[in-house]
Amino acid sequence: MDQILQFISSIHPYDSLPEDELTRVAGSFARREYAADEFVYRHGERLDGLYLIENAAVEITDAHGGLVSSLSRGNSFGERGLLEDGAAATTARVIRPGAVLMLPAAEFRHLLNDSPAFARFFRRGRPATRGGADIATLKVSDLLTRSPLSAAPETPIAEAARMMRQAHVSSLGITDPSGALLGLVTIRDMSNRVVAEGRDGSDPVSAIMTADPVSLPPSALGSDVLNAMMERRVGHLPVVEAGRFVGMITQTDLTRVQAISASVLIRDVAQADTVGDMAAVTSRIPDLLVSLVAAHQRHEVVTRLITDIADAVTRRLLVMAEAQLGPPPAPYLWAACGSQGRQDQTGVSDQDNIMILTDGTDPADPYYESLARFVSDGLNAAGYVYCPGDMMATNPRWRQPRSVWRDYFRGWIEKPSPEAQILASVMFDLRAIGGDAALLSGLQAETLELASKNSIFVAHMISNSLKHQPPLGLIRGFATIRSGEHLGHIDMKMNGVVPVADMARVHALRGRLTAVNTRARLEEAEDAGVISGRGARDLIAAYDLIQSLRLENQAALVKAGRKPDNFLSPSDLPDFERSHLRDAFVVVRTMQSALGQGKGVLS
C-alpha cells in the first residue's frame, strides 16, 4: 500500500486529494502483474474499475482493431466505459509486461461525485450530466415533445381551429404536400385575424397564416430558441429539417427546463435602453464563464453561448442606431469575423466587423458612417474593445457595396500577396449578424468556389496557416515566453487555437465547406473526405484539450479577481495535464507538417 500511495500521490488527479482521502483511496486499489500480449479487457466486457498503469505499456484499440492510443506509466484507461454503460468501449492489451492498478468501479464513481478535480479530469470533453440540464445547452431535438400538427394551405379556418382544439395545441404548421413549411397559425391569429375582423370560417387558413416564419433546425441549441423568442417577441418556433416541418417549440416547452444565465443575459440585452445598460449586462460575462466551466460544459458550448451574447448586443445596438438615425437609405448587412464570426468567443474578445451595402449605395453616405460609429462605440463600451488592426465597419475600407466586396475577394484570390492572405483568412470567417443576410450568402458561395479552384491561392493559404507554431521546446518541454509580463507562459490563443483554426479554414476552403466554426469545419472536412478520419479525430481531440484548458485558465483568473487572458503557465498544471497538453501541441504540429507536405508550401 505504501508503494501505491507514493505512486498515485504524484499522478493527477489523485494529487489533488486530501492526505487522508489519498491514503484511503490507495488502499482500495488492486495491483496485478500482466505478461506481454495479455488482455486487461476486451471490447464489450464488463469493466471492474478504472485502470492505472504503474510500469507496463498498454495498447488501446477500437472495436475494429484500429489503434486508439499507446499508454505507459501514469496513464489511466477504462473511464469511457465506466462513464457510459459499464461495458468496455475499447480493447486493452499489454505490449510490455508490468504492473497495472485497478480502482474499483464503485470507488471511481464515489470520487467522481465527491472530488471536483477528479470529475473535471475524467469528464473533460464530455457533456454535463442531464440531472442539471439547461435549456440553453440542450438541442432543439431534445425539446420536442410531440409530433407536429400541420394542415394544407387550403384547409378552412374553422377546420384548422378544430384541429388545434382537439390536439390541445396553440399553433399549427401550414405545409405543402411535400411537408415543406409554408406558414404558421397560432391561437392569437385566430383571435386577432378571424374573430376580431369577423372573417368567414370557410376562408382558407393561408389567408391568416404568418408566411415564411422564422424556424430552427433540430441541431440548434436551446439558447437559439430563447434568443429568437426574446428578440422577436414570439411564442412559437417551427422546427425544420431538410426543408420539412418536423416539430414546434413553444414557450410551454421551455417551462420544462430551466434556462441558464446566458439566456437571462440575452433577455437583459434585448431590453436594454442605453449603452450603459448593455455594459452592465456584459460585465456579468466573466461570471457566466466561471459557472459554465464549473458545470463541465464542453468548450464549444461555452464559447457559443458567450458569442450569442455578443450577437445580441450587436443587434440591439443596430436597432438603437436606426431609432436614432432613422431607417437606412438602402438595405445593408452587419457581419462579424474573427472569434465572433467563428462563434468561439471566450472571456476576452475584441471586435471584428464589416458592413456590406446594397449595390448602388454611396459608401460615403454619412448615415452608414454614423451607424457604424454608433455600433462600434457601443461594442467598445460593452467590453468588446476596438480591433487593434482596425478591422471594423468604421473603417471606410470595410464599409462598401457588395460589388466592391466581390472585387476585394477576387483580387485577394488572383493576387495572393502576404496582406491578401491575411485579409482572406479573416474574411473567410464572416458571419451575418444583423441586416440583410442575402448580401453575404451568395457572395460566400461564389468566393469559396473561386478560391478552391485557384491552386496558387490555396498554396498561399496553406503557407499562411503554418506561420503560427505550437509552443514546443526541446526534450519534451514547452517554448514559453522569455521576457515581459507573461514570462514563463504560453499563449493559448496564438500558439494553440489559431494554428488549428487556420488549418480548419484551409480544409473548409479545399472542400468548399460553408461552416465557419473551427470544430464544425473539422467535422465537415472529415465527412467530406478532405481530411482523413484519424487525422480529423486527432486534431479535434487536440483542439478540445487546448480550448478546455484555455477556458479553465480564464475561469481561474476570474475567480482570483483578475481579468481573463490567454496566457497559461505550464508549471501551474499537474504533470499529467502538462504531458497531455504537450501531446496535443505535437498533434497540431504533426498535422501542420502533413498539410504543408501534402499541398506544397510556398517559400
Would you state the pLDDT for residue 328? Answer: 95
How many Å apart are CA 259 and CA 266, to the nearest integer? 11
How many Å apart are CA 493 and CA 496, to the nearest integer? 5
DSSP string, 5-27: HHHHTTSTTGGGS-HHHHHHHHH
Q: Cell 440583410 appears where?
A: 436
Sign of the four-CA dihedral 335, 558, 574, 114: negative
Q: Tell me: cis bond preceding 13? Omega within 30 of 0 counts.
A: yes
Confidence of residue 213 (pLDDT cuts 50, 70, 90): very high
Would you state the pLDDT for residue 305? Answer: 87
First vs last Cα of the chain: how many Å apart? 58
User: If we measure between CA atoms, which residue out of 375, 431, 437, 430 comes closest to residue 214?
Assistant: 437
**Those residues with Cβ within 8 angstroms of residue 219's Cβ, 6 or more apart along the chain or in another chain:** 139, 140, 141
How many Å apart are CA 124 and CA 137, to the nearest integer? 16
Q: What is the pLDDT of residues 401-449, one digit of tens each?
A: 999 999 999 999 988 888 888 888 888 899 999 999 889 988 888 888 8
Q: What is the dihedral of CA 291, 297, 298, 300, to 10 degrees?
A: -50
Confidence of residue 41 (pLDDT cuts 50, 70, 90): very high
Would you state the pLDDT for residue 122? Answer: 78
For 16, counting Cβ atoms within 10 Å of its Cβ (0-12 exposed, 13-18 middle, 19+ buried), the class is middle
| pLDDT beyond 50 at 105 | yes
Please report, for residues 336, 375, 382, 517, the alpha-carbon distance to residue 393 in angstroms, rounded to integers and kept in the order given.
Answer: 10, 9, 17, 22
How many Å apart are CA 328 and CA 332, to the nearest integer? 8
Give per-residue burial for 566-601: e unless 16+ CB within 10 Å, then b: bbbebeebbebbbebbbebbebbbebbeebbeebeb
Compute the half-sphere exposure of residue 327: CA atoms within 13 Å on the CB side of its CA: 3
Q: What is the pLDDT of residues 243-284, one digit of tens each?
A: 899 999 988 777 544 434 677 788 888 889 999 999 999 998
Q: Three-class SS of residue 527?
A: helix
| pLDDT beyond 60 at 133 | no
Please report, for residues 80, 162, 228, 388, 545, the alpha-carbon distance to residue 300 in angstroms, rounded to integers and kept in the order given.
Answer: 20, 44, 20, 26, 11
H or E stretch at 587: helix 575-599
Q: Name the more confident of 456 and 85.
A: 456
Q: What is the pLDDT of residues 531-582, one digit of tens each?
A: 988 888 899 999 999 999 999 999 889 888 889 999 999 988 888 888 899 9
Enumerate the H helices of 295-401 as residue ranges. 299-325, 338-342, 366-381
Q: Which amino acid, 583?
A: D
| pLDDT beyond 60 at 232 | yes
Please report, for residues 278, 514, 539, the alpha-carbon distance to residue 524 in angstroms, rounded to integers and kept in the order given.
Answer: 36, 9, 13
How many Å apart are CA 362 and CA 372, to the nearest integer? 14
User: If we measure between CA atoms, which residue out of 319, 305, 313 comes closest to residue 435?
Assistant: 319
How many Å apart are CA 215 and CA 436, to the nearest integer? 17
How many Å apart are CA 480 and CA 493, to the nearest integer? 13
Other Cβ atoms within 10 Å of 359 Cβ, number: 13
How many Å apart are CA 113 and CA 109, to the nearest integer? 6
**Pair 490, 480: CB distance under 8 Å:** yes
Backbone angles phi, psi at 215, to 5 degrees: -135, 170
Residue 23 grid cell: 491514503
Would you state the pLDDT for residue 602? Answer: 43
Residue 387 grid cell: 480591433
